[in-house]
Amino acid sequence: MRRPPPHTLRGQLTAGLVLLLAAACLAVGLTTVFALEGFLVRRLDQQLTASGGRFAASLEHEATPDTDNRPDSRGQADQTFGARLLNGRVTQAAVVDEQNVRQVPLTHSDRQTLQGVPADGKGRSVRLSGLGSFRVSAVPGDDQDVLITGLPLHPVEETLHRLEGVEGVVFGAALLATAVAGAFWVRISLRPLQRVTKQAVGVARLPLASGEVAMPYPLPVTDPRTEVGQVGTALNRMLGHVGDALTRRQASEERLRHFAADASHELRTPVANIRGHAELALRHRGPVPADVRRALERIQSESGRMGDLVDDLLLLARLDAGRPLEHEPVDLTLLVLDAADDARAAGPGHRWILDLPEEPVTVTGDAHRLQQAIGNLLTNARTHTPAGTEVTVRLVSESAAVRLTVTDDGPGIPESLQPEIFGRFVRADRSRSRATGSTGLGLAIVRAVVTAHAGSIQVSSEPGRTVFEMSLPR
């Protein structure tokens, strides 16, 4: 399996440094080996030229008991090879073995190799069966023959192998030391960049979407002329701009919350007065024209709707302001039963299914607000699904949290609307919502109540299945 490359900049720099040094060591090693090999081979060629084919010439006559025509091995190095060719055929081949001349058998391939050596006095490398590699040189003899003299390449190969081993050990140790020292040096050099990265990661984890955000302190920039210093300076400038923008946004949100709270508070009394006067006029004992009664009923209905809207806005303003909620044991099972009874009474055309544990499920919180959140979820399921829809309310108790899910098999929520479904004044069907009296604040109140209880709320929807899941800590 191929190992993946290092992902961190420190690993990449260290690996690149080691690879460059390895390439340099390889180039130096190969150059040294080839240079030494050429030098040693030239020395062998000089020795072959100096010998002048004397040993090969002494092989011309075979030794007999009556004569002393033995090959001349004086002054010849051990394992010196000699051969004589006559009319293109090898007639004699011998090797000097400790100042003694030993005849050597040649295979057909060896004979062809020797016959192919030009008689120009230049050195050439050949390999003979049973003898090994030789550096040979061929010169013409006095009797129309060719004299071949060779010196073994084994010492040269041994020297080269020893050099390669030494270079491998030395270069390996150098690479290891460079890797350790390079990693340490790169780590020290990248410390400023690590501080920049840590700062950026910390900012990325901040909840910048809403609320007041405390921006971190600027990074200390050591040298703005370096790349890391320039990145640090740019990050500090960017954090300053982000901090200013967040401060202005927070101030704007605070002003908007105060305005909503003040406006809702101021509207509460006039709306209640209008509603009261409309009810009083409807209870008039005398005859009231039909069109006037219809107008009074519309005033009463719209004032009631406006009163609900004002109450919802006041509740959201209190939750946004962080008003403390009650922290008492709350029986969620009882709240779900009450909310289901109310939903069944308001929507008899729906099929309501409860899936509750046998034991009561309790949490710590504000019973009134939690009842309002659960009721809003069931109201949302009833309001935005047609009659005959099956709505399942399931309560599950876990070790660390309690999960309440409301599932329906209605038409579902458009995918484009799901990311902002818990926003304020968000309606899936504006005309229908207005006809049913929805203000578009029900799910926003659910999220605000759940968030105030340190919980979470999420939705998943597709045609034929919509699930709202509310999680509260135990």
Instruction: Note whether 173 and 90 are same-domain residues.
Output: no
Q: How many domains does the chain have?
A: 4
Q: Given a cut of 50, is residue 460 above it in pLDDT?
A: yes
Same domain, yes or no: 138 and 248: no
Give the mean pLDDT of 286-309: 79
Confidence of residue 5 (pLDDT cuts 50, 70, 90): low
231: phi then psi, degrees, rounded to nearest 5: -65, -40
In this structure, which amino acid lies at residue 61?
H
Residue 445 · residue 382 · CB < 8 Å: no
Task: Give the distance from CA 260 to its chain's centroid.
Answer: 45
252 and 163 in a common domain? no
Q: Which long-range contacts (CB under 8 A, 24 or more apart) does 401-404 make?
A: 401/455, 401/471, 401/472, 401/473, 401/474, 402/332, 402/361, 402/363, 402/471, 402/472, 402/473, 402/474, 403/469, 403/470, 403/471, 404/332, 404/336, 404/374, 404/377, 404/469, 404/470, 404/471, 404/472
Residue 254 lies in a domain: yes
Distance, C-alpha 468 to centroid of its chain: 32
Residue 194 lies in a domain: no
Which residues are 124's β-sheet partners? 136
Nearest to 57 by CA among 142, 150, 151: 142
In the predicted model, what is the mean pLDDT of residues 254-273? 71
Q: Which of 289, 323, 357 is the last residue of a domain?
A: 323
- Rounded to 5 degrees, φ, ψ at 256 are -65, -40
Q: Is residue 236 part of a domain?
A: yes
A 10 A CB-CB count for 408 gives 25
Contacts of 299 (CB under 8 A, 6+ apart): 274, 275, 278
In the block, which residue shows the tokens 């004086």?
74
Find the helix or strand (DSSP H, E) in which 434 lies: helix 430-436
Distance CA 466, CA 378 (A): 12
162 and 30 co-located in one domain: yes
Q: Residue 212's pLDDT band (boundaries 50, 70, 90)?
A: low
- Clarify whether residues 223 and 237 are in a common domain: yes
Residue 130 falls in which region: left (phi positive, over 0), alpha (psi -120 to 50) or beta: left
What does DSSP say about strands 100-103 and 124-128: parallel, antiparallel, or unpaired? Answer: unpaired
**pLDDT of 307:** 76
- Tell whether the model's pLDDT for residue 83 goes beyond 70: yes
In a domain, 195, yes or no: no
User: Facing residues of 126 across strands?
Assistant: 134
How far from 264 is each of 57, 63, 99, 404, CA to CA, in Å?
A: 125, 133, 121, 31
Residue 247: predicted pLDDT: 78
Section 290-297 average pLDDT = 81
Does a structural domain hold residue 7? yes
Residues 53/72, Cβ–Cβ less than 8 Å: no
Task: Report whether pLDDT(432) > 50.
Answer: no
On the question of pLDDT at 191 being above 90, the answer is: no
Residue 168 and residue 42 in one domain: yes
pLDDT category of residue 429 using cuts at 50, 70 and 90: low
Q: Are residues 371 and 430 in the same domain?
A: yes
The answer to whether residue 18 is domain-embedded is yes
pTM surpassing 0.85?
Answer: no
Q: What CATH number did the domain enclosing 137 receive?
A: 3.30.450
Mean pLDDT lowest among 19-33, 154-168, 279-293 = 279-293
Count of CA atoms in the C-beta half-sphere (13 A) of 194: 8
- Same structural domain for residues 390 and 410? yes
**Residue 42 falls inside a structural domain:** yes
399 versus 467: which is more confidently predicted? 467
Give residue 105's pLDDT: 87
Looking at residue 435, its pLDDT comes to: 46
**pLDDT of res. 237:** 81
Tell whether 100 and 121 lie within a shared domain. yes
Lowest mean pLDDT among 69-73, 225-229, 457-461: 69-73
Q: Give the pLDDT confidence of 321-375 residue by residue, as tens digits.
A: 667 778 899 999 999 999 999 999 988 999 999 999 988 899 998 898 899 899 9
Residue of 66 and 193 predicted with greater confidence: 193
* Cβ-contact 370, 353 below 8 angstroms: no
Q: Give the Cα separation of 384 and 433 in Å (integer).
A: 8
Cα(197)–Cα(168) distance, rounded to whole angstroms? 39
Above 60 in pLDDT, residue 453? yes
Highest average pLDDT, of 79-88, 216-225, 391-400, 424-433, comes from 391-400
Question: Does the structure show a pLDDT above 90 at 195?
Answer: no
Q: Which residue has the tokens 């709350």?
A: 330
Q: What pLDDT is stored for residue 428 in this prediction?
A: 62
Mean pLDDT for the stretch of residues 387-406: 92
Quote the mean pLDDT of the chain.
82
C-alpha to C-alpha distance for 456 and 416, rounded to whole angstroms: 21
368: CB partners within 8 A, 6+ apart: 326
**Residue 333: inside a domain:** yes
Nearest by Cα to 114 from 99, 102, 129: 129
What SS3 state is found at 31? helix
Residue 31 confidence (pLDDT) above 90: yes
Is-contact 396 402, C-beta < 8 A? Answer: yes
Clarify whether residues 457 and 352 are in a common domain. Answer: yes
- Would you say residue 62 has pLDDT above 60? no
% of the chain at pLDDT higher than 90: 26
Q: What's the CATH number where 207 sits?
A: 1.10.287.130
Whether 66 shows a pLDDT value over 70: the answer reads no
Domain-ending residue, one of 323, 347, 363 = 323
Q: Which domain holds residue 108?
A: 52-152
Q: In 321-409, which residue ranges form alpha helices assigned H by DSSP?
A: 332-346, 367-383
Which range among 48-57, 251-260, 430-439 has the greatest average pLDDT? Answer: 48-57
Residues of the chain with pLDDT > 70: what percent? 86
Handedness of CA 163, 164, 167, 168 (dihedral sign): negative
**Per the structure block, which two tokens stand in for 28?**
């130096």
Last residue of a domain, one of 323, 351, 371: 323
Q: What is the mean pLDDT of residues 419-437?
A: 63
Instruction: Pull the structure tokens for residue 393.
Output: 């309310």
- Bridge partners for 103 per DSSP: 94
Among 92-96, 126-130, 312-316, 394-398, the range of highest mean pLDDT? 394-398
* Reported confidence tier of residue 438, pLDDT bands at 50, 70, 90: low
297 and 210 co-located in one domain:
yes
pLDDT of res. 222: 66
In terms of average pLDDT, the best of 10-19, 259-268, 286-295, 374-383 is: 374-383
Residues 67 and 208 in one domain: no
Q: Measured between alpha carbons, how far is 403 from 37 in angstroms, rounded to an integer?
A: 80
pLDDT value for 467: 94
Instruction: Classify strands 390-397 and 351-355 as parallel, antiparallel or unpaired.
Output: parallel
Predicted confidence (pLDDT) at residue 64 exceeds the cutoff of 60: no
Q: Residue 360 maps to which CATH number? A: 3.30.565.10
